[in-house]
Chains A and B, each alone.
Chain A
């Protein structure tokens, strides 16, 4: 069975700080990896995804993530965060097909002005 582990459940940063949120997954086959963001009171939005190819993927709003196969990791980064980045961030994995996404427990990110 696949699983996703997000190491940081709550992160508090000041504006302009650099961000890295950890994500490790467990899956026995080819994986598709995702980061989703959920702003307060809103639905999930896709930040970025990795299917294959360049392991460094760039997403919306200045976010990027690096797939490191040997470490089963897909960490999310942003060099300089803004107050508007305050949200819940979810790492997710799927093997494709119709088996749906397996989510990590989320990281609640608070950016202080």
Chain B
């Protein structure tokens, strides 16, 4: 069973479009995250979401918005996509103490 799953695995879209990436965890964790990995492999946290408390990395453009319909899901919605948004996006969940379980990633390509 996949602990943290993401869909889609690959997403190719044009500039200006709006898209969503879905994340689901079946681990019962309270905290979920979104990370962005750029073309140089640098990983940076975008959001963390814990018991309906959202912590936003201030460098993330407000075109990005996480949405959590329930404890097991944290989706990432992106408006008005730009070329620079091309990256691999990883979802993660955590039981606490910093240990995190990562999803397989979604490779977003904006053309």
A residues with CB within 8 A of B: 32, 34, 36, 38, 42-46, 49, 51, 88, 90, 94-103, 105-106, 108
Contacts and interface: CB of A to CB of B under 8 A. Distances in A.
A31 to B, nearest CB: 9
Interface residues of B, number: 25
A99 B41 contact: no
Contacts of A38: 41
Contacts of A94: 98
Nearest to B105: A43
A106 B38 CA distance: 12
A106 B33 CA distance: 20
Interface in B47-98: 48-50, 53, 55, 90, 94, 96-98
A102 B45 contact: yes
Contact of A100 (B41, B45, B96, B104): B45
Contacts of A102: 45
Given A101-B100, A102-B45, 6 more contacts: A32-B97, A34-B99, A95-B98, A99-B55, A101-B45, A105-B41
A94 B31 CA distance: 14
